Amino acid sequence: MARRPSPNFAVSSPVVSPPVPQRFVALNLLLALRPTQWTKNLVIFAALIFGERLFDARAVARATGTFVAFCALSGVIYLVNDIVDREQDRWHPIKRTRPIASGALTTRTALMAALVIGSLALGWSFWISARLGTVAFSYVALLTIYSFFLKQVVILDVLTIAIGFALRAVAGGVAIAVPISEWLLVCTILLALFLGLSKRRHELLLLAEDATDYRPTLEDYTPYLLDQMIGIVTASTVMSYILYVTDAGTTARFGTSWLGLTIPLPLYGIFRYLYLVHRKGGGTPPDLLLTDRPLLACVAIWALAVVFIIYR
């Protein structure tokens, strides 16, 4: 169990609590579901694109339905996570303004919403297909265990997040009944590890000497250790993508070797992200993606280039 922060938490103002925002309950609930974080679920469409089903209306509908279901399920996980961490979040310079931590949304309301939304989303997933429902349930179970236990275990915390990303990718393939490429899983897990470790580094530097009071696992991390891990994962991510797009099997499957031309885009995107983490203070992956125009443009151009090459 996480320790309660001491009254000397330097980066926040423990004596004077932030005022509770005056908003409608529905709006507070929507904010607690963190819609800005739902961009992570876009990985669901990877199977649709690389499975060459982008112009299959039925496949697009099923993938979109899966995306909606996982947006709801990820929102439920955020609610559970914020309920569990509400005391620690009240001492965090940024997270203390969240609806549950600030008291704008009661724990009871958040818990009831999580049960209702989670049940509907799981039911929707099983309606699409039994296999998708199984993947969705596994995702919820894993991330719930993470919220209560695994987030307190060094290394396993970021590995769990990475597996959660992989389950999203698997869900995209299961929903439209296309084989799950091992390359898709490898690249997804490595990219998620890269983002997760970068986020830990941001937290460690933001909270400084009080970091362990907020998240005990940060006591086992150091900037140097995280930089070493990030370096390994960065190289592995880039090499995995290069090997995939230049593989003879990939060339034979898509009938083109042009995917190799997209290599500079992931390279720039990863280097740009590292630049933002090291020189601009970093932040959460969705926030950086949505607020940094060069990074957003890079991702958009990469997606368009891949679609053009595969479906030209």
Q: What are φ and ψ of residue 43, in 5° steps?
A: -60, -20
Report percent pLDDT > 70 for the chain.
Answer: 88
Confidence of residue 22 (pLDDT cuts 50, 70, 90): low
State the Cα–Cα distance between residues 252 and 177, nearest whole angstrom: 21
- Which residues, 6+ apart, have CB-to-CB distance to 15 below 8 Å? 7
Measured from the Cβ of residue 119, the count of other Cβ atoms closer than 10 Å reads 11
Provide the whole-model pTM: 0.86
Residues 152, 2 contacting (CB under 8 angstroms) = yes
- Burial code (b: 16+ CB inside 10 Å, e: under 16) for 255-264 equals eeebbbebee
Confidence of residue 10 (pLDDT cuts 50, 70, 90): very low
Q: What tokens appear for 191 in the block?
A: 């990219």
pLDDT at 282: 65
- Burial code (b: 16+ CB inside 10 Å, e: under 16) for 69-107 equals bbbbbbbbbbbbbbbbbbebbbbbeebbbbbbbbbbbee
- Which residues, 6+ apart, have CB-to-CB distance to 69 below 8 Å? 121, 122, 124, 125, 128, 136
Residues 11, 135 contacting (CB under 8 angstroms) = no
116-125 confidence digits (pLDDT tens): 999 999 999 9
Which position has the higher pLDDT, 219 or 81?
A: 81
134-148 confidence digits (pLDDT tens): 999 999 999 999 999
State the Cα–Cα distance between residues 208 and 218, nearest whole angstrom: 10
Which position has the higher pLDDT, 310 or 10?
A: 310
State the Cα–Cα distance between residues 46 and 38, nearest whole angstrom: 15
State the Cα–Cα distance between residues 44 and 287, nearest whole angstrom: 19
Closest CA to 272 of 261, 262, 259, 285: 285
Residues 79, 32 contacting (CB under 8 angstroms) = yes
Residues 67, 35 contacting (CB under 8 angstroms) = no
C-alpha distances out from residue 76 to 62, 81, 121, 146, 199, Å: 21, 9, 10, 13, 21
State the Cα–Cα distance between residues 51 and 34, nearest whole angstrom: 30
227-280 confidence digits (pLDDT tens): 999 999 999 999 999 999 999 999 999 999 999 999 999 999 999 999 988 887
Q: What tokens appear for 206 in the block?
A: 């933001």
Q: Cα dihedral angle (270, 276, 282, 283), rounded to 10 degrees?
A: -60
Q: What is the CA radius of gyration of the chain?
A: 20
- Report angle CA 182, 61, 115 to the nearest 5 degrees: 85
